[in-house]
Amino acid sequence: MFDSAAGKNDAMEADTAGQKVGVLRKIWLPKFLYDCLPYFYLVSGVAALLATLYINHWFWVVPHYLLFSAACLHFAIAVFRRRTRKRES
């Protein structure tokens, strides 16, 4: 990433000067949104699945709707399982 030792020192000095270089911040959601997240995934997945039933012809969007539906339902199940596992332990 850096070609010389000078580049490494510059990055360290920038970090010690109060600037965060290359550090990812965690994004915290409000509790209400955090609690509603699996339900949002579930509703979005079911809505996308039902939307494919109302499309009369085979358009290019049908596979995308099905893929989005499967991904949302998978996320909803994964979040529900992780949260119930943490509560059981």
Domain map of the chain by residue range? Answer: 25-88
Better-scored residue on pLDDT, 56 or 77: 77
What string of H, E and C letters represents the secondary structure of 2-71?
Answer: CCCHHHHHHHHHHHHCCCCCCCCCCCCCCHHHHHHHHHHHHHHHHHHHHHHHCCCCCCCHHHHHHHHHHH
CA distance 14 to 12: 5
- Paired tokens of 69: 């539906």
Amino acid identity of 19? Q
Model confidence pLDDT, tens digit, residues 7-59: 555 555 555 555 556 677 888 889 999 999 999 999 999 999 999 988 878 78
